[in-house]
């Protein structure tokens, strides 16, 4: 198997483009079809005493009531997750999906989680940010025995707070989280919120290293990741966030990756209204256009969608809106490359010299199978040249469905134009 250094040094040698030609053999066959999430309970039926949270590209965990207790079933298992068309990743997750289904409940609920482990190694579940009895906190070895393969453990406690929290393993945590085991845990307040939230989204951030041409994330990589995701989907695989003009929107963002992610919304300012430490009230809320979500934290942001359009929503670290590329290559911006490209092509027919005038035109230079283009996505005006942690907040007047409404149709005279 090619290691990262071999890929990168060959990239540097050939001005960067050769890594895209590298065939990396993987011990794991690349899956061809993604699995669909499965549950042993039917979907929860409303009406609920809250507006249900929407997990873009994800699902909500069903439950059933048993003598006043909300009973959930989480199955820790291996899953094939499509990050975007053309790339399926061999992850670990819960109930057929990574991130695991979003857990939704109400402050004061008594909740019981059956956790079944079908992984090849032991696991546990930690409930990040929750107030609970020490023996329910899920740190294997410290608070409970590990859940061995084939075993089912029971966690039960009463929800004593509201807000945005998370769940993840605390047993071989480094490997299991690198492979995608994590999920959001939303607790609604007992008293309905005022003003009411119309659109409530949950997004789990994550970053991965998946060598070009392979399908298994590499848990040993600590800093130089090459795939960045919202709910384990990378642009152009990320679903848009859709709202009707005038609606109050909240996005709950969780981060269990190895880096902070400054998440930016175009066209608006929002208020930071909560963390995994709880709600921020009144004067404590502050306006931003970018919210930094530190590792091991959640952030809730809220605003009123009063301006129609297609507004970009993305991580502001520019490499986090890219799909796989090598990072240790010489800079060729402004370099005179002469006939180098033609000469290299004599031995590597598909070689393309790395941009002397930038990389914008190099959207798709060909690549190993199961690997996304570095910058991609086609918009109404041409290539969008993005990847990774990028999606579009779509606001429309008078819509009656939250399905993708397509591209925004700009009123005449409101689009930047070429001077003639």
Phi, psi values for residue 183, rounded to 5°: -165, 165
Judged by CB under 5 A, the stretch of 117-125, 308-316, 370-378, 405-413 that binds Cu ion is 308-316
Cβ nearer to Cu ion, comparing 204 with 395: 204
Cβ nearer to Cu ion, comparing 114 with 272: 272
In angstroms, the CA 299 to CA 253 distance is 5
Cβ nearer to Cu ion, comparing 83 with 94: 83
In angstroms, the CA 341 to CA 107 distance is 63
Q: How far is the CB of 208 from Cu ion (least distance, A)?
A: 12
Q: Are strands 199-208 and 248-255 parallel, antiparallel or unpaired?
A: parallel
Q: How many residues bind Cu ion (CB under 5 A)?
A: 4
Cβ nearer to Cu ion, comparing 241 with 352: 241
Phi, psi values for residue 174, rounded to 5°: -60, -50
Cβ nearer to Cu ion, comparing 90 with 320: 320
Of positions 159, 315, 375, 386, contacts Cu ion by CB under 5 A: 315
In angstroms, the CA 113 to CA 118 distance is 16
**Residue 261 lies near Cu ion (rule: CB under 5 A):** yes
∠ CA 291-315-128 to the nearest 5 degrees?
60
In angstroms, the CA 164 to CA 298 distance is 6
In angstroms, the CA 264 to CA 267 distance is 10
Judged by CB under 5 A, the stretch of 24-32, 121-129, 156-164, 316-324 that binds Cu ion is 316-324
DSSP 175: H
Cβ nearer to Cu ion, comparing 133 with 294: 294
Of positions 21, 146, 320, 394, contacts Cu ion by CB under 5 A: 320
Cβ nearer to Cu ion, comparing 229 with 376: 229
In angstroms, the CA 118 to CA 122 distance is 9
The tokens describing 9, both together, are 């040094």
In angstroms, the CA 253 to CA 225 distance is 20
Nearest partner of 370 among 253, 215, 148, judged by Cα:
215
CA 179 from chain center: how many Å? 13
Nearest partner of 331 among 21, 18, 12, 19, judged by Cα:
12
Nearest partner of 245 among 186, 299, 309, judged by Cα:
309
**Residue 168 lies near Cu ion (rule: CB under 5 A):** no
In angstroms, the CA 325 to CA 212 distance is 9
Q: How far is the CB of 221 from Cu ion (least distance, A)?
A: 15
User: H or E segment at 72?
Assistant: strand 69-84
In angstroms, the CA 246 to CA 110 distance is 35
Q: How far is the CB of 188 from Cu ion (least distance, A)?
A: 28
Cβ nearer to Cu ion, comparing 250 with 320: 320
Judged by CB under 5 A, the stretch of 90-98, 156-164, 311-319, 372-380 that binds Cu ion is 311-319
Q: How far is the CB of 103 from Cu ion (least distance, A)?
A: 24
**Residue 70 lies near Cu ion (rule: CB under 5 A):** no
Cβ nearer to Cu ion, comparing 128 with 261: 261
Q: How far is the CB of 158 from Cu ion (least distance, A)?
A: 35
Q: How far is the CB of 198 from Cu ion (least distance, A)?
A: 27
Q: How far is the CB of 259 from Cu ion (least distance, A)?
A: 6
Of positions 122, 128, 244, 317, contacts Cu ion by CB under 5 A: 317
Q: How far is the CB of 315 from Cu ion (least distance, A)?
A: 3
Residue window 210-249: x/- pattern of binding to Cu ion, with contact defined by CB under 5 A = ----------------------------------------
Q: Which residues bind Cu ion (CB under 5 A)?
A: 261, 315, 317, 320
């Amino acid at each position: 198997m090619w290691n990262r250094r071999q890929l990168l040094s060959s990239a540097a040698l050939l001005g960067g483009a050769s890594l895209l030609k590298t065939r990396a053999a993987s011990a794991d066959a690349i899956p061809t079809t993604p699995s669909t999430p499965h549950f042993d309970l039917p979907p929860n039926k409303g009406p609920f005493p809250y507006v249900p949270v929407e997990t873009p590209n994800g699902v909500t965990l069903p439950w059933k009531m048993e003598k006043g207790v909300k009973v959930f079933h989480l199955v820790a298992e291996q899953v094939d997750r499509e990050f975007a068309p053309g790339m399926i990743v061999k992850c670990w997750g819960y109930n057929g999906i990574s991130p695991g289904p979003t857990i939704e409940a109400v402050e004061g609920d008594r909740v019981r989680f059956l956790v079944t482990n079908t992984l090849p190694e032991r696991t546990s579940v930690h409930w990040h940010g929750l107030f609970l009895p020490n023996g329910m906190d899920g740190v294997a070895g410290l608070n409970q025995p590990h859940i061995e393969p084939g075993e089912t453990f029971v966690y039960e406690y009463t929800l004593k707070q509201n807000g945005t929290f998370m769940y993840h393993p605390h047993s071989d945590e480094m490997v299991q989280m690198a492979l995608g085991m994590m999920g959001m845990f939303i607790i609604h307040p007992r008293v309905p919120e005022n003003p009411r939230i119309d659109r409530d989204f949950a997004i789990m951030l994550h970053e991965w290293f998946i060598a070009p041409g392979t399908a298994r994330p590499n848990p040993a990589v600590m800093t130089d990741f090459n795939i960045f995701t919202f709910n384990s989907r990378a642009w152009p695989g990320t679903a848009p966030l859709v709202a009707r003009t005038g609606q109050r929107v909240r996005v709950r963002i969780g981060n269990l990756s190895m880096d902070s992610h400054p998440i930016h919304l175009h066209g608006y300012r929002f208020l930071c209204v909560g963390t995994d430490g709880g709600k921020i009230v009144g004067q404590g809320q502050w306006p931003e256009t970018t919210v930094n979500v530190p590792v091991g934290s959640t952030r809730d942001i809220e605003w009123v969608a009063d301006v129609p359009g297609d507004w970009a929503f993305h991580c502001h670290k520019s490499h986090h809106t890219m799909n796989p590329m090598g990072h240790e290559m010489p800079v060729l911006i402004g370099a005179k490359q002469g006939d180098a490209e033609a000469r290299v092509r004599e031995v590597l027919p598909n070689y393309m010299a790395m941009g002397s005038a930038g990389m914008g035109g190099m959207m798709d230079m060909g690549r190993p199978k199961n690997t996304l283009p570095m910058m991609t996505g086609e918009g109404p005006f041409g290539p969008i040249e993005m990847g990774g942690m990028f999606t579009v907040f779509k606001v429309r007047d008078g819509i009656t469905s939250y399905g993708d409404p397509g591209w925004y149709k700009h009123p005449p005279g409101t689009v930047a134009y070429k001077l003639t």
